[in-house]
Amino acid sequence: MTDFPTLSWPDTDGPRTVRWRSEAGVPAPKRVVIADDTTTADAAYRLACEGTALLWRGDFQNARQLLQAMARRAERKPKKGAPKPPATPLEAFHQHRQAQAQRARTLGMVLLPIEGDYEIALRRAPDAKLACEEAWGPSTGEPSAVSLRELLGLIGAHEWRKKGVPIPALGGAHVHPYYGVFSPVRGEYLDLIARVPLPSQEKAFDIGTGTGVIAAVLAARGVKQVVATDQDARALACARENLDRLGYGERVEVVEADLFPAGRAPLVVCNPPWVPARPASPIEYAVFDPDSRMLRGFLGGLKDHLEPGGEGWLILSDFAEHLGLRTREALVEMIVEAGLEVAGREDIRPRHPKASDPTDPLYRARAAEMTSLWRLKVRKD
C-alpha cells in the first residue's frame, strides 16, 4: 500500500506504476499512451482534449516545443460555438477562470517520468534536481511522474528563488520567494507600508508573512520587534531565510500561527489575498481568499490583538470590487461589525504591465484597480 497517488500505464515491457505528483491535487490521468518525437502536435492536442495523457519518451526540448504548439492550439478561438462576449466584468472573470482551468487540464496531459533521484532521463533534459528538491523535499528514491507544465513551473520558481525580486521599499534589496510562496512582484503596496507614519516603533505583527517582505520593510523602518506569522510550511521557511539574509533575523520572529500570534502590538499589518473566490489549487490560496476567510479573520481578531491606541493596517486592492465579487459597502460593514473604525486610507495605483494591456480579458477591472492601506482603529463606543 502506498500513501500517495499513483499513475499507471501499459509500457512496452508491461504495465508500470509510479508515484503521481500534482501540486494542485489533480487526479492521475486514467488513460496514458507513450509519446515521443514522432508524435505530432495535432495528434497530441486531440488526445489531450479527449483526456488521454501522453507519457513522453522523446527529447526533452522537443516535448517543450510540443507543449508550446499545443498551447497555440488551445489559444485559437473556436470557429463555431464561441462563447458570447461577457456582458459584465464578473462574467469576464468567470469565463477567464474557466478558460484557464480548461487550458491547464489539456496542457497538463503531457507527462514526464522522473527518476528516484529526481533525474530526468530524457535526451537534452535539464538538471532539475535542485528545483524538484526545493518544491518536493529531498528525494526518497521512488520514481514518479509529473506533467511537463508543472515541472517547467518548478524550474521557473527555482530561477526566481535564485535571482530574487528587487524591493524598492528595501532600497532595492532582494527577497527570494520559494516555490508556492506569494511573490511580491507587485510591490506597490510595499511603498505604502514604507511611507505611512508608524503608530509606534516598539513592536508590530505581520499576519500571513509569505516571503517575510512586510516584516522586513517594518524592520527596515526601525520597528524594534516584529512577530511574523504564517500557516504554510514553505512560507515559514522562506520568511526565515529572507529575514536572516537581510539581517533582520534577530528582530523578527517568524512563528506558525493561524492569523495572530499571542499577545498584542501597537501595529498589526495584514495583506490577505485580494480576491474572494475559490482557489483552483493550493498554490492559489495566496491570491484567492474563499468567502473572505482571511480578511474576516483579520478584521474580527484585531480588537483582541491591538494595544490601546494601536493601528491595524489592512492592505487590499479593490480589484474584487471592479469584478463585482465584493462591494465597498460590504467591506465597510465588515470593518464596522468588527468594532473598528477607519482612521485613514492611503491609495496607490498598480504598476504591473497587465493593467495597461487592453488585450487582457480582465483589462477593465485591472485598469481601474487601486491598492489601499486602510488604517483601522478600535472604535470607542
Ligand X SMILES: C[S@@+](CC[C@H](N)C(=O)[O-])C[C@H]1O[C@@H](n2cnc3c(N)ncnc32)[C@H](O)[C@@H]1O
Q: Which of residues 121-150 bind ligand X (CB under 6 A)?
A: none
- Judge contact between 223 and 249, C-beta under 8 A: no
CB of 273 to ligand X, least distance (A): 5
User: Is 374:314 a contact under the CB 8 Å cutoff?
Assistant: yes
Span near ligand X by CB under 6 A; candidates 131-139, 230-238, 303-311, 323-331: 230-238
Residue 361 exposed, middle or buried by CB count within 10 Å (0-12, 13-18, 19+): middle
Task: Locate 107 and state its grid cell.
Answer: 496542457
Q: Which of residues 163-202 bind ligand X (CB under 6 A)?
A: 182, 184
Distance of alpha carbon 176 from alpha carbon 372, whole angstroms: 25
Q: Shortest distance, CB of residue 182 to ligand X, whole angstroms?
A: 4
C-alpha cell at 320: 474584487
CA angle 174, 23, 230 (to 5 degrees): 50
**213 forms part of the interface with ligand X (CB under 6 A):** yes
- Residue 269 Cβ, how far from ligand X at the closest point, in Å? 8
Q: Determine how many CB atoms are found less than 10 A away from the CB of residue 34.
A: 14
Among 273, 276, 301, 312, which residue sits at the site for ligand X (rule: CB under 6 A)? 273
- Of positions 231, 233, 250, 357, contacts ligand X by CB under 6 A: 231
Question: Of 28-36, 123-131, 136-144, 231-239, which part binds ligand X (CB under 6 A)?
Answer: 231-239
Q: Which H or E run includes 33?
A: strand 31-35
Site string for ligand X, 274-313 (x = CB under 6 A): ------------x-------x-------------------
Sort 209 into a burial class: Cβ within 10 Å, 0-12 / 13-18 / 19+.
Answer: buried
C-alpha cell of residue 160: 526566481
- When the beta carbons of 17 and 281 are compared against ligand X, the nearer one is 281
223 binds ligand X (CB under 6 A): no
The minimum distance between CB 293 and ligand X, in angstroms, equals 7
Cβ(268)–Cβ(306) below 8 Å: yes
Give 84's contacts (C-beta < 8 A, 6+ positions apart). none
242 is an interface residue for ligand X by CB under 6 A: no
Site string for ligand X, 250-269 (x = CB under 6 A): --------xx----------
Q: Which of 120, 154, 214, 376 binds ligand X (CB under 6 A)?
A: 214
Stretch that binds ligand X, among 83-91, 206-214, 327-335, 341-349 (CB under 6 A): 206-214
Beta strands 110-114; 52-56: pairing state:
parallel
Q: Which of 230, 311, 318, 369 binds ligand X (CB under 6 A)?
A: 230
Distance CA 218, CA 344 (A): 19
The residues binding ligand X (CB under 6 A) are 182, 184, 208-211, 213-214, 229-232, 235, 258-259, 271-273, 286, 294
